[in-house]
Amino acid sequence: MAIFKKNNTWYIDYYANGRRKRESVGPSKELAEKVLQKRKVQIAENKYLDIKRDERIPFSEMARLYLEAYSKPNKRSWSRDELSIKHLSFFFGNKYLYEITPLDIENYKVERKEKVCPATVNRELACLKHIYVKAMEWAKITTSPTSKIRLFKEKNQRIRYLEEEEIERLYEKCSGHLKPIIVTALNTGMRKGEILTLKWVDVDLRNRVISILHSKNNEKREIPVNEDLFQALLRVPKNPKSSYVFCNGDGVPYRDVKNGFKATLKRAKIDGFRFHDLRHTFASCLVMREVDLKTV
């Protein structure tokens, strides 16, 4: 703690709640000394404003609260938050929310970038920022250390499409439960999250249409079911324990198919391809069949 003078004004400089504070007092050195002494007493007695309002809540606890009270009830992509929180909590979990500084976050960025791509780090930082947004809304903390944190620049990757011969190889190498999921993606352009949460009530095989009621853009979509998809869906067994189209034996919908899809691509000898590129392939096939862009 200290006092200093700048442009005929005395300032006090001290740390409270793990953060550096500076206050301008005025032209009187004596008054600055008194105010600084008062701040010392307030901090010692836990009466300093910021300390009084900030809860002593560990980051890991706040992250769990965010996931259960906000992310799961409100976001279809909550599993992405769950994964981000796993890594964030490993790094920040033992600290209280108010103890985490911008420098801590910069250190996290550096450490994570050595292990994953910049886009992944950015998704985790976005999750961290929103955890602090909700913490302030819920009166758990008064300020956020994330306000000035900058995201990494992401390289624009080339959009990848499958050629017809590659599609045949992909189908050939698919495991049993994964094939209808890929057939659905290639014939509808649906997002992975929409496919994995698809319920039978939204599949009308009589009229050959799939209804997406809660899309990413909050718009209702109706997707035609062509013959290939129709036959694939007919072969998907309905689990009496579940309302989901794609689920395991216990009726639980698949959380992700990343590992199975990766193994399938390896067997099919297809490189540089992601599940989301199935959506790009669907659109590309429509364009090559001279479907107008508005329809696509």
Please check whether residue 86 lies inside any domain of the structure: yes
Please check whether residue 155 lies inside any domain of the structure: no
Please check whether residue 11 lies inside any domain of the structure: yes
> Are 284 and 186 part of one and the same domain?
yes
Task: Name the DSSP class of 157.
Answer: P
> Are 63 and 45 part of one and the same domain?
no
Provide the token pair at 293: 């862009």
pLDDT 10s digit of each residue in the chain, 296 long?
Answer: 688 888 888 889 888 766 778 888 888 898 889 888 888 887 776 665 544 456 789 999 999 999 999 999 988 778 889 999 999 999 998 899 988 999 999 999 999 999 888 888 998 999 999 999 999 999 888 889 998 889 888 776 667 888 888 888 999 998 888 999 999 999 999 999 899 999 999 999 999 999 987 655 566 789 999 999 999 999 998 999 899 999 988 888 988 888 999 999 999 999 888 899 999 889 888 877 777 777 77
> Are 19 and 99 part of one and the same domain?
no
User: Count of domains in the chain?
Assistant: 3
Give which of 126, 65, 72, 83 is closest to 256, Cα–Cα.
83
Provide the residue range defining the domain that includes 187: 164-288
Say which CATH number the domain at 219 has.
Answer: 1.10.443.10
> Are 68 and 48 part of one and the same domain?
no
User: What span, in angstroms and rounded, lies between the C-alpha atoms of 79 and 72?
Assistant: 8
Please check whether residue 142 lies inside any domain of the structure: no
> Are 33 and 95 part of one and the same domain?
no
> Are 99 and 18 part of one and the same domain?
no
> Are 191 and 264 part of one and the same domain?
yes
